[in-house]
A = this chain, B = another copy of it.
Amino acid sequence: MTLTPLSPAPTAPLDLVHGRIDLTHGAGGRATAQLLDTLFKPAFANEWLAQGNDQALFSVPPGRLVMSTDAHVVAPLFFPGGDIGSLAVHGTINDVAMSGARPLHLAASFILEEGLPLADLARIVASLAQAARDAGVAVVTGDTKVVERGKGDGVFITTTGIGVVPDGLLISGDQARPGDAILINGTLGDHGIAILSQRAHLGFETVLQSDSAALHGLVADMIAAVPEIHCLRDPTRGGLATTLNELAHQSGVGMRIHEAAIPLQPAVIAACELLGLDPLYSANEGKLVAICPAAQAETLLATMRRHPLGTQAAIIGEVVADPLHFVQLRTRFGGERLLDWLTGEQLPRIC
């Protein structure tokens, strides 16, 4: 009879300065527990994670729930205005908020590549936790897996959010009606061009920052002022042009957009001209398209402009009857062209 543990030596403390992820961190045993206890749990500390189970248990207020999930694979992991951690919070919160819901909780799942510096992981986890705190949501449950070197790319993060939709709201992509006004909350293309500026092989730099932000506070103000909002959607991959086409298709309508009304930063215009890109197809991570009855458009605009994330909000066009569901752009020079869906790929791994 022996009472000696199979491996009696305590595991050495994690070296958060020089250490790296290895395959034992994904094995589900002692090294995984150490990684969770040292690096993840302190960052996210909350009553649900403290339950210590493989699932979080909580009560929700009565009402309708929404659920949304997004994988985040952005490269590089750190970029001007954010990183994959904060982006993983903002991206999913925004998808939840675009139903009019108040976001409640997040689940976060990490796929780590062997060799990832623990210092990078700690920075990303801290950023994710801070973004969640700032947004007033808790990361209540999570998972961590490790893949061999060359089978991943540093870290991928999938976040899943749930939220509660207040009674009486009907905000959905199929609710746009001819005559409705189309609004956005600020400048377009900032995230896409900020990421592009970091891709070393493009030899291109800019002072531009990603617009990555959680929009649920802005949405709450908008709904309080104009509960009749018909559609909300965040123009991420594929940009404004693709989002408008999705909404036109889903609602069975057409749209007319006024190019001169679309706010753009000079740095985005310059970068797009240099590289032959179109800012209307460039990704955003802190922007939303809102569609509401024309009679409420000015009220909604004024509300948006009072919020820090809507100071440059604008009415950019209107919904029209069109059996072909075309999105037409009236250019600065008075011409008109179709604004089609994104075809092909502007830039891989933007989010």
Residues in chain A within 8 A of chain B (CB atoms):
1-7, 11, 23-24, 26-33, 51-60, 62-73, 95-96, 98-99, 101, 105, 107-111, 140-148, 150-153, 156, 158, 160, 162, 165, 172-174, 233-234, 236-238, 242, 246, 250, 281, 283, 326, 328, 335-338, 340-346, 348-349, 351
Contacts and interface: CB of A to CB of B under 8 A. Distances in A.
B156 A153 contact: no
A59 B65 contact: yes
A6 B153 contact: no
Contact of A68 (B7, B71, B107, B283): B107
B147 A238 contact: no
Given A23-B348, A29-B341, 16 more contacts: A2-B335, A2-B336, A2-B337, A5-B338, A6-B340, A24-B345, A29-B342, A29-B345, A33-B246, A53-B173, A55-B96, A65-B162, A107-B160, A146-B348, A151-B152, A160-B160
A5 B340 contact: yes
Contacts of A23: 345, 348
A3 B324 CA distance: 12
12 contacts: A1-B335, A3-B326, A7-B343, A24-B343, A33-B341, A57-B65, A58-B66, A69-B108, A69-B141, A69-B158, A71-B111, A148-B349
Contact of A158 (B32, B109, B236, B335): B109
A87 to B, nearest CB: 12
Contacts of A59: 63-65
B54 A68 contact: yes
Q: Which 10 A-B pairs have the closest CB atoms?
A: A28-B237, A29-B342, A28-B238, A160-B160, A55-B68, A69-B107, A158-B158, A151-B153, A5-B340, A27-B345
A36 to B, nearest CB: 11
Given A73-B145, A141-B69, A156-B111, A27 B238 contact: yes
Nearest to A95: B54
Contacts of A233: 53-54
B340 A148 contact: no
Given A7-B343, A58-B65, A109 B53 contact: no
Contacts of A27: 237-238, 342, 344-346, 348
A244 to B, nearest CB: 12
Contacts of A11: 343
A28 B236 contact: yes
Nearest to A1: B336
